[in-house]
Every structure is written in structure tokens, then in C-alpha cells.
A and B are shown apart, each in its own frame.
Chain A
Amino acid sequence: DQQVKQNSPSLSVQEGRISILNCDYTNSMFDYFLWYKKYPAEGPTFLISISSIKDKNEDGRFTVFLNKSAKHLSLHIVPSQPGDSAVYFCAANRNSGNTPLVFGKGTRLSVIA
């Protein structure tokens, strides 16, 4: 039973436009959410996170939005750049950290120049 779901396996976006990656979760005990970016043959790289007490967190071109009532979060990348092409994983954990991350299956983003 997938507790974290990324329903879009892939997404193509034109360079300069906005990329929106979506993630849904089922476990209401999750209280912290993270996005990781992964290039081939490398480990996941931490990108941005959000606590359940917030609904938005912004870091440069990256913004994460959290809708707790809908158990939904999204990652916005504006403007998208070719170097953003990678697999993006949504992850969640609970109980003040130091617990395993639960990952979605990932969305492959392709930014076309």
C-alpha cells in the first residue's frame, strides 16, 4: 500500500516555463515532507522541505505547497532550466524526524530547450 504517491511518471516542460510536480499521501501521521532530485548513477539530493505547520516554503526557483486537508503537496520550479531535468522524489516522515523516509515512485522531469 503506497503511502506516498506520485501519479505522473513523467513530465515535459519547455525551458523558462513552470514545472509543477504533484504528490499525494495517505498517512495523516506524516508531519514533514521533502523533495529530492536524482540524476542517473547518483544518490538522491535534498532539494526543499516543508513542515506540516506551514503551507508554503520557497527557496529560489523552487516552491513547495502543502494542502493538508487534501493530503497533497506540489513542487513548483520557475523558471525551468535544462539542468533541472532529473527524477524528482517526494518523501515524508513523522514523529519529529529520525524515522525512515517514505518515498513516492518519482516523476521524471524533462526540460526542453
Chain B
Amino acid sequence: GAGVSQSPRYKVAKRGQDVALRCDPISGHVSLFWYQQALGQGPEFLTYFQNEAQLDKSGLPSDRFFAERPEGSVSTLKIQRTQQEDSAVYLCASSLAGTPKVYEQYFGPGTRLTVT
């Protein structure tokens, strides 16, 4: 595909339920980022992969959040035992490392998670 894709686009979960959010980055992009965007706020960093290596997970808000990218392409963000404060849009972005355009991150449409 031409851009970053994410699925599902919308997810409603009952409090305590586990969810899994998927990201397909742009083909060839080795860097992959997850961000969380609360209503009225800018995106905030969660975690970062270079290929399959998770290089930074300092933004994950609790140990209920877990991300993986086992083959260096598709990534999954998993949230266990969801809480109401997890309600947000989860954005995935990818970028092309090793070029001057490494700074430019390209975003998917996001997954809007609502925890009831």
C-alpha cells in the first residue's frame, strides 16, 4: 500500500478487556513509532522500533501496554485489562532511516479506542 495503515479504525472495549491494535508501515520503512493522542492534545510518544528491535519504550504508560514487531514490518500494540483512561486515538508512524528524510514520520489514520 501507499501509506501507513492501521486496524481496526475504531474499537470499543469494556473495561478489563484486552485489545490488540495493528499497524502496517510503509514498505521499506525501518523505523516505526506508536503515539497516543488524547482528545484536544497532540500525539504523545509511546514506543519506537528499528526493524524488529524495540529501542525505546519509555512512553508506555504502564506495564499493561506491550508492543511488538517480530519480523520488522507489521507491529501490534496490545493493551491488557483496559481502563477508561486508555480511551484515545492510537497513531502509528513510520520513517525511512539512513536518509536525510529520517526526521519525517508518516502517520496512519489511527485507531480510536473507547473503553466503556
Expressed in whole angstroms, the Cα–Cα distance for A7 and B107 within the complex equals: 24
Expressed in whole angstroms, the Cα–Cα distance for A43 and B92 within the complex equals: 9
Q: B11-19, B43-51, B75-83: which one contacts chain A? A: B43-51
Chain B interface size band reads 20 to 34
Interface of A toward B, CB cutoff 8 Å: 4, 32, 34, 36, 41-46, 49, 89, 91, 93, 96-106
On whether the beta carbons of B31 and A105 are closer than 8 Å, the reply is: no
Residues on the B chain within 8 Å of A102, using CB: 45
- Tell me how many residue pairs across A and B have CB atoms closer than 8 Å: 65
On whether the beta carbons of B110 and A105 are closer than 8 Å, the reply is: no
B95 touches which of A36, A97, A104 (Cβ 8 Å): A97
B45 touches which of A41, A43, A96, A101 (Cβ 8 Å): A101
Expressed in whole angstroms, the Cα–Cα distance for A96 and B104 within the complex equals: 11
Expressed in whole angstroms, the Cα–Cα distance for A93 and B105 within the complex equals: 11
